């Protein structure tokens, strides 16, 4: 198989590289790529079947990225929660550590789309400051390596970060967030996983948004990670025209389970500048969860969350399963919409149960 470095080098990075049959106006797109990085691996390009399909939409630039809909450059106010460059410390016991500016391909809907691909905004030379911050903050027991994509670093560079953080006694678990298994599965080499397994407990959250991304090559890469004892989770972004359909989501989650990846989060799309055309309603997200829960394996049902605009953190959203709670009983709805009563005391009068229109 081609080396990952070679596959990565052959990526499309300029408007002129976009295939003619995509029928895109080079002049329009040039402006977009001046503002937001573009990169598409030949592998991911080969999975695109038609212009405008769900994979195409995720990576091919679109003129609408420059439209102003009142959205934000930094919708989660990550910069405000950044005590030193490259660290986002928002929760009591864990932090994000941005260690790479690069990704294997650039997602058009990325929350950090103004930053990714820019080595000034995510500066590798400042990694030491981040390590020092984690060392000095004893409350941090969980470090999430992110970026950009940490797996775009060489094995040596990544190992130097992992080993420095692993040497900090109060850090209990390490996590890596990566879209490399989706965009560039070639990167998951036996050498990489042999290195990673030295730093357990190490978790990885991967990022797949559509069932067509879970290819045999991606499954092999995920299998190597799972075989190294790395528990795998998946984060999906809910995107219009990509996966805003309960059937597509269900198939995605089922295919991930076959690859030994446990669905972790579905994110409501953040309010990021230039991504208005990807946003869906929360009602749509709740409908997707309702059509997963009960209808397929519980393992296939992730948490649906909104990352609160302005930096409030992730907030879980659930369809209404509890219809009513009183001191003596709870009225519940199951996945089919049928009602049930759970008695919290043993002296709820029969009369009262019947009044809850036909529950048992």
Ligand X SMILES: *Cc1c(COP(=O)(O)O)cnc(C)c1O
Residue 187 makes contact with ligand SF4 by CB under 6 A: no
Among 144, 176, 238, 252, contact with ligand X (rule: CB under 6 A): 144
210: CB partners within 8 A, 6+ apart: 54, 55, 58, 242, 243, 248, 252
Please provide the distance, in angstroms rounded to a whole number, between the alpha carbons at the two ends of the chain. 61
Q: Which of 112/224 has CB closer to ligand SF4?
A: 112
Active site residue 113: no
Binding site partner of 116, from ligand X, ligand SF4, none, Cβ cut-off 5-8 A by kind: ligand SF4
Residue 88 makes contact with ligand X by CB under 6 A: yes
Among 15, 47, 60, 103, contact with ligand SF4 (rule: CB under 6 A): 103
Beta strand residue intervals within 259-352, DSSP E: 261-267, 303-308, 313-317, 322-325, 329-333, 339-343
Please state the closest distance from residue 147 (CB atom) to ligand SF4, in A: 6
DSSP 223-240: HHHHHTT--EEEEEE--T
Among 65, 149, 244, 270, contact with ligand SF4 (rule: CB under 6 A): 149
Binding site partner of 88, from ligand SF4, ligand X, none, Cβ cut-off 5-8 A by kind: ligand X
Residue 355: both structure tokens together: 């009044």
Residue 204 β-bridge partners = 176, 232
Residue 237 makes contact with ligand X by CB under 6 A: no
- Maximum CA pair distance of the chain? 75
Among 94, 135, 277, 333, contact with ligand X (rule: CB under 6 A): 94
Tokens 């990544």 correspond to 158
Rounded to an integer, what distance in angstroms lies between the CA atom of residue 135 and that of residue 164?
10
Give the interface with ligand X as residue ranges (CB under 6 A): 88, 90-91, 94, 96, 144, 314
Catalytic residues: 90-91, 94, 103, 107, 110, 112, 270, 307, 314
Give the interface with ligand SF4 as residue ranges (CB under 6 A): 103, 106-107, 110, 112, 116, 147-149, 179
């Amino acid at each position: 198989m081609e080396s990952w470095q070679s596959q990565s080098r052959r990526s499309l990075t300029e408007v002129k590289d976009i295939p003619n049959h995509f029928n895109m106006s080079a002049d329009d797109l040039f402006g977009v790529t001046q503002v937001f990085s573009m990169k598409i691996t030949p592998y991911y390009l080969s999975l695109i079947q038609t212009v405008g399909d769900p994979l195409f939409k995720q990576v091919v630039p679109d003129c609408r990225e420059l439209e102003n809909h009142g959205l934000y450059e930094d919708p989660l106010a990550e910069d405000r929660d950044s005590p030193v460059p490259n660290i986002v410390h928002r929760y009591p016991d864990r932090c994000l550590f941005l260690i790479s500016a690069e990704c294997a391909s650039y997602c058009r809907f990325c929350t950090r789309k103004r930053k990714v691909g820019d080595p000034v905004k995510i500066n590798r030379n400042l990694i030491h400051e981040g390590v020092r911050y984690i060392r000095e903050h004893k409350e941090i027991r969980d470090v999430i390596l992110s970026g950009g994509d940490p797996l775009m670093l060489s094995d040596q560079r990544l190992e130097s970060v992992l080993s420095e953080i692993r040497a900090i006694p109060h850090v209990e678990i390490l996590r890596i967030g990566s879209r490399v298994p989706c965009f560039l599965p070639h990167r998951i080499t036996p050498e990489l996983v042999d290195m990673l397994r030295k730093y357990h407990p190490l978790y990885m959250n991967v990022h797949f948004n559509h069932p067509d991304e879970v290819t045999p090559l991606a499954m092999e890469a995920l299998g190597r990670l799972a075989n190294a004892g790395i528990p795998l989770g998946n984060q999906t972004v809910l995107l219009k025209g990509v996966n805003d359909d309960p059937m597509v989501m269900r198939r995605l989650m089922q295919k991930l389970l076959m690859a030994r990846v446990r669905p972790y989060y579905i994110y409501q799309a953040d309010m990021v500048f230039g991504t208005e055309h990807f946003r869906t309603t929360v009602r749509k997200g709740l409908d997707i969860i309702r059509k997963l829960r009960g209808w397929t394996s519980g393992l296939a049902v992730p948490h649906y969350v909104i990352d609160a605009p302005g930096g409030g953190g992730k907030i879980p959203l659930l369809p209404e399963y509890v219809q009513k709670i009183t001191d003596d009983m709870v009225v519940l709805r199951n996945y089919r919409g049928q009602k049930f009563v759970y008695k919290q005391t043993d002296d709820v009068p029969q009369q009262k149960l019947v009044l809850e229109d036909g529950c048992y």
